[in-house]
């Protein structure tokens, strides 16, 4: 079973859209009433996705904002301009995923101040060299991670996400760990320490391998145009992942 690659901040940005009470037309709001959650993400498939969620605030009771009356969002990167379309939030894709690449996200308005100057730099792209996909590790093994290129002075997040099977009823017992590493291209993790992240390891079915997704994520914070009166955030992420199995 494959575990989704997307980082938690992408999930939360989607939740922000569907949690509000309703949609408000942008024609009924001043720019001082806008909140923006912007995410630029690349997963190593040759594309970069840009998502912008607009709302009247950051709380769960905030309403979503629908752009009307000629208001629109546009993204520029590498000299390419794309207008964003509305799906769950406003989205568009670029047919490249290399970094570092600057993305400028602009909201243009016809009846109030525009917000043309939000930007973020997509981090350096990379590849996971080891572990190799579909490798099976025993409980006594160490998972040797290697990725390239490294970023001197930077950090990278390491995520393990998956599950083992219960010996009692074959239900799935989730395993999830997140660690921030120095981005030096190498790291080693003991399988035993990964399995011990659950206090009920003795309930694992020893005859069934545990599917685990290993992911590495580089993140960068950008700058939000100050005309968003309610504030917001701008982030970019390069993520790569590989699926393995571990024997409990």
Q: Specify the pLDDT at position 129.
A: 98
| Average of per-residue pLDDT across 165-183 | 93
Q: Specify the pLDDT at position 8.
A: 42
pLDDT band at 36 (very low <50, low <70, confident <90, very high): very high
2 against 207, higher pLDDT = 207
Instruction: Please give the model's pTM, rounded to 2 decimal places.
Output: 0.85
Spatial neighbors of 193 by CB under 8 A, at least 6 apart, are none
Spatial neighbors of 199 by CB under 8 A, at least 6 apart, are none
Say how far apart CA 60 and CA 80 lie, in whole Å.
34
Say how far apart CA 97 and CA 238 lie, in whole Å.
8
pLDDT band at 142 (very low <50, low <70, confident <90, very high): very high
| Average of per-residue pLDDT across 76-83 | 97
CA 55 to chain CA centroid, nearest Å = 20
Reference 224, options 123, 116, 122; nearest CA is: 116
**pLDDT digit string, tens, across residues 96-139:** 999 999 999 999 999 999 999 999 999 999 999 999 999 999 99
Contact 52, 66 (CB under 8 A): no
* Average pLDDT over the chain, rounded to an integer: 91
Q: Specify the pLDDT at position 2.
A: 46
pLDDT band at 15 (very low <50, low <70, confident <90, very high): very low
Reference 201, options 139, 132, 155, 243; nearest CA is: 139
Q: Specify the pLDDT at position 21.
A: 58
Q: Is 156 helix (H, G, I), strand (E, B) or coil?
A: strand
Q: Name the token pair of 179.
A: 């660690």
Contact 137, 245 (CB under 8 A): yes
Most confident of 61-70, 163-172, 222-231: 222-231
- Say whether pLDDT at 226 is over 50: yes
190 against 170, higher pLDDT = 190
Q: Name the token pair of 100.
A: 């570092």
Give the H/E segment covering residue 14.
helix 8-18
Q: Return the ∠ at Cα 44 (arms to 183 and 132), rounded to 5°.
A: 70
| Average of per-residue pLDDT across 56-69 | 91
């Amino acid at each position: 079973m494959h575990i989704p690659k997307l980082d938690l901040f992408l999930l939360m940005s989607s939740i922000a859209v569907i949690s509000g009470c309703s949609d408000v037309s942008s024609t009924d709001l001043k720019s001082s009433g806008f909140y923006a959650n912007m995410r630029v993400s690349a997963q190593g498939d040759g594309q970069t996705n840009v998502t912008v969620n607009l709302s009247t605030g950051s709380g769960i009771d905030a309403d979503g904002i629908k752009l009307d009356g000629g208001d629109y969002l546009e993204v520029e990167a590498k000299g390419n301009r794309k207008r964003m379309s509305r799906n769950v939030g406003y989205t568009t894709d670029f047919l490249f995923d290399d970094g570092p690449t600057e993305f400028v996200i602009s909201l243009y308005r016809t009846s109030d101040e525009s917000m043309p100057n939000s930007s973020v730099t997509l981090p350096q792209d990379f590849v996971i060299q080891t572990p190799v996909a579909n490798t099976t590790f025993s409980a006594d093994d160490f998972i040797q991670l290697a990725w390239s290129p490294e970023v001197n002075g930077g950090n990278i997040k390491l995520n393990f996400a998956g599950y083992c099977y219960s010996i009692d009823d074959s239900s799935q017992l989730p395993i999830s760990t997140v660690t921030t590493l120095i981005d030096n291209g190498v790291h080693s993790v003991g399988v035993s320490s990964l399995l011990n992240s659950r206090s009920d390891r003795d309930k694992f079915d020893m005859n069934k391998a545990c599917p685990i997704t290993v992911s590495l994520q580089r993140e960068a914070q950008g700058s939000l145009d100050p005309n968003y009166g309610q504030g917001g955030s701008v982030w970019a992420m390069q993520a790569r992942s590989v699926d393995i199995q571990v024997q409990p």
